[in-house]
Structure 1
Amino acid sequence: MSTSSSLREVAVLGATGSIGSSALDVIARHPDRLRATVLAAGRNVEALLELCRRHRPRHAVIADGKALPALREGLRAAALDTQAHAGDALDALISGDACDTVVAAIVGAAGLPSTLAAARAGKRLLLANKESLVLAGELLMRAAHEGGATIVPIDSEHNAIFQCLQGRQDDGSGEVSRITLTASGGPFRGRDRASLANVTVEQAVAHPKWSMGPKISVDSATLMNKGLEVIEAHHLFGLPGDRIGVLVHPQSLVHSLVEFIDGSTLAQLGLPDMRTALAVGLGWPRRLESGVAGLDLLAEGGRLEFEPPDTDAFPCLRLAFEALAAGGTAPAVLNAANEVAVSAFLQRRTGFLSIPALVEDALEALPPVAADCLDTLAEADARARCHTEAAIAHHA
């Protein structure tokens, strides 16, 4: 396995997405230290082939098995010696010697198996798949501990906390009084609930600060993204929900704050660009040039503003805190119902305000049970999806 002073071999899961693209940008800047050895994508063969031509990995994985022949043929036509694989080979590649570092950026619950495989295999895990922690945080953290994995969160907020704690992976709870995640407020900050009834898909995905995929952009617009991050922070840093706060910070320059028992508060600041967090994860404990400019506060307006989140207009944040407090399978139900509701909204089958309503309905209909194994979590996930789909069909 590579060390920090040798060539780090990186698997990028979700390579064709926005986080995968940012990771590959950072990797390409450091050919003497970093190499992309495994690229994995969902079903976009042409995009994956283009990345293979540019980065020449040893392995390319397409989740959709029906697309494997096209991937093979494309690699052959490009005269690349990259080996083509279907999705069911991904866990074995991650667990073996094909990589020592894994960027886990597959969106949704589909990213959980590969994330767990990386943790169990003791890899450096750059975690951007928040659903892995929301669904199975206790299992993932236990697997990482037992496997000797290092988890570096890539969400800007959790990465900021990681940096403020100097990368320490013990829970730090004895010295930390409170952590505060910041939220941009999304595209609808300042609007009341009634004004959100006729929000369009185009408006919801137009994030004012970050460049993200459609699902995450909608989650940011509903503040569910921040709610999921609260649950993540609980698992990553060992703090209960009542010691995790959220502040709306429209400039998106302060990414999180950590308050210590001596009265000190540390904050991490930077421009809103995922490459900073990815460079931290890829280079830690050393710093790597990321392609992101330094922060000029005067050029950015010279103001840092903070305000409380409006959980009446954006109840998803409240629902996430309630699911964390309920424990067990409640976060899995929250996540699954939200995935189905957001997908229906993006397909224009339901309205924007229906997203929190559907999630709350699923949480009320499916009381939590102990989340003691993956099978239990998978069942809760499936039941929540089925329930939410039925609710959408009923109200259509």
Structure 2
Amino acid sequence: MNRNKKNISILGSTGSVGTQTLEVARSYPEAFNVVCLGANKNTQILEDQILEFQPQAISCDYHKELSTRGEIPEKLMSLSEIATYNGVDTVVVATSGNVALIPTFEAIKKGKNIAIANKETIIMAGEQLTSLAESNSVNLMPIDSEPSAIWQCLRGENNHISKLIITASGGPFRNTPVGYLPNVTPANALQHPTWKMGPKISVDSATMMNKAFEVIEARWLFDVPWENIEVIVHPESIIHSMVEFSDGSTKAQLSYPDMMVPIKHALFFPDRAPKSNTTPFDPNKTKSLTFESLDQDKYPCFEIALKIAKRGGTWPSALSGADEA
């Protein structure tokens, strides 16, 4: 392995975040070496990735469906094994659901830095995860626009925090009257106005369950009390989060909606990408930035999820399981 590059292992390489992570690796071949790939059912995409990136090891639950059109790595491993693979510097946790919980913990124990997009792992075991990362001197780097924005605002100063302000687009039902919500369909819920996402997270975004998960993430990733985390609707989705400090000043992270921004920030940490194809925010092209209070009547899932999470114990795991079912 080339030690002048960061060696990465990607859990969930065929999903949205996984494929975009590989796009970063493709764009910066001088910076990253893809050592391991992990996937579930999407063997066609995994085969293409194997042919292009030539990983040393893979994990695939449906490996018997892989064709022989390319050279399959000799090392077929479990997800935990590619998460702890010798020589890997950073593990990108891009899976959905609870499948990455144990592999993430095992990777931290081996001193691997974690770039995490998987919300469920933090929801189920955020307190234990952050404690283990700290005790092993591991960087726990969020790959999600809102927690990444908070992380960027806190770089260089993580004391004297008064409040974390997480923004939400309002989803496809922001302008839908509460009385009409019983008539909406799953297809309506998939029409997110800002982000292109998979079906499950699109539905979670429409109900604000996803935003409740981001509050839970922020609670553990940044060690801020529940009562000091606020969610506000920001339809333009340009300000991704804000941090208010004790002296009355507020920092905000701005960018056009693009998952490549938090992915690159995590992968290049503690540096930044030397060049980028991402379009930077242009205030001359933005007429206004608007904010609205979150309508609790329209999004009951939000408050229900937080009430359950605040109970602690195994309740957050039950919450995650119920959302996944």
Shift of 1:108: 1.0
Q: Structure 1: give runs of 5+ residues left out of the alignment.
A: 341-396
Which whole-Å deviations, capped at 9, do the CAs of 1:77-132 have from their partners, x for residues lacking one? 32x3633525xx22122223152111101101122122212222211111100111
Provide TM-score, normalisation by structure 1. Answer: 0.78
Deviations 1:267-289 (A, max 9, x none): 00001111110111111121113
Q: CA separation in 1, counterparts of 2:45 and 2:75?
A: 14
Q: Which residue of 1 aligns with 2:22?
A: 24
Residue correspondence of structure 1 range 207-246 to structure 2 within 5 A: 207-246=192-231
Q: Which residue is 1:155 aligned to?
A: 144
Q: Supply the AA of the counterpart residue of 2:316.
A: P
Amino acid aligned to 2:281: L
In the alignment, which residue of structure 2 is the partner of 1:46? 44
Question: What is the CA–CA distance in structure 2 between the aligned matches of 1:114 and 1:194, rounded to whole Å?
Answer: 44
Q: Is the 8 A contact 2:145 2:259 kept in 1?
A: yes
**Residue 192 of structure 2: SS of its match in structure 1?**
coil
- Deviation per CA, 1:245-298: give whole Å up to 9, x if none: 001101000000000111110000001111110111111121113431111233
Question: Match for residue 110 of structure 2?
Answer: 121
Letter in 2 for 1:85: L
Partners of 1:320 and 1:192 lie apart in 2 by: 22
TM-score by length of 2: 0.95
Checking the alignment, whether the CA contact within 8 Å between 2:37 and 2:82 is kept in structure 1 is no
Q: Structure 2 residue aligned with 1:82, among 67, 73, 81?
A: 73
**For the residues of structure 1 that align with 2:47 and 2:156, how far apart are their CA atoms?**
35
State whether structure 2 residue 302 is matched by structure 1 residue 317.
yes
CA distance in 2, matches of 1:85, 1:285: 32
**TM alignment of 1:256-267, pairs within 5 A:** 256-267=241-252
Change (3 A) 1:81 1:334: closer
Alpha-carbon displacement from aligned partner over 1:211-270 (angstroms, at most 9, x marks no partner):
111111111000000000101100000011100000110100000000011111000000
Q: Is residue 193–residue 314 contact of structure 1 (8 Å, CA) maintained in 2?
A: no
C-alpha contact (below 8 Å) 1:123/1:148 kept by paired residues: no
Structure 2 CA distance for aligned equivalents of residues 194 and 331 of structure 1: 30
Measure the CA separation in 2 of the matches of 1:151 and 1:2: 23
- CA displacement at 1:187 relative to structure 2: 0.8
What letter corresponds to residue 298 of structure 1 in structure 2?
N
Kept in 2, the 8 Å contact 1:158–1:256? The answer is: yes
Deviation, structure 1 residue 192: 2.9
Which SS does the other structure have where 2:125 is aligned? helix
8 A contact 2:2–2:33 mirrored in 1: no
d(CA) in 2 for partners of 1:42 and 1:332? Answer: 22
Structure 1 moving runs of 4+ over 3 Å: none
RMSD: 1.8
Count of aligned positions: 324
Report the counterpart of residue 33 of structure 1 in structure 2. Answer: 31
1:87-126 correspondence to structure 2 within 5 Å: 89-126=78-115
2:283 to 297, 303, 324: 297
Instruction: Give secondary structure in 1 for the equivalent of 2:131.
Output: helix
How far, CA to CA, are the matches of 1:147 and 1:135 in structure 2? 20
More helix, by proportion:
1
Alignment map for 1:171-250 (pairs within 5 Å): 172=158, 174-250=159-235
